[in-house]
């Protein structure tokens, strides 16, 4: 898990692309808000997931709103679903 995802946030879904080198984590914060972050995984990083955007700072009221925002912002996500 990235440093950009606070340890108090609970990831409830992680969606990978077909190549398994990109993922989006959807999470819930202790205050009840939701968010998401996009990550990449490269061989030179020893397979560690590295954040590629700064989406995690935005809060959403529902899971559905979070997923909708993620699909609108992450180019490959709609195809992965």
* Domain range summary for the chain, segments of one domain joined by +: 10-76
- Residues contacting residue 16 through CB under 8 Å, at least 6 positions apart: 22, 23, 80
Cα dihedral 64, 36, 11, 52 sign: positive
What is the pTM (predicted TM-score) of this model?
Answer: 0.87
One digit per residue, the tens of pLDDT, for the chain of length 81 reads 445 778 899 999 999 999 999 999 999 999 999 999 999 988 777 778 888 888 999 999 999 999 999 999 999 999 999
């Amino acid at each position: 898990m990235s440093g950009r995802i606070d340890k108090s946030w609970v990831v409830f879904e992680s969606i990978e692309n077909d190549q398994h080198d990109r993922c989006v984590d959807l999470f819930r914060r202790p205050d009840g808000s939701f968010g998401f972050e996009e990550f990449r995984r490269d061989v030179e990083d020893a397979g560690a997931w590295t954040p590629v955007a700064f989406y995690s700072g935005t809060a959403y009221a529902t899971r559905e709103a979070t997923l909708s925002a993620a699909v609108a912002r992450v180019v490959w996500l709609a195809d992965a679903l």
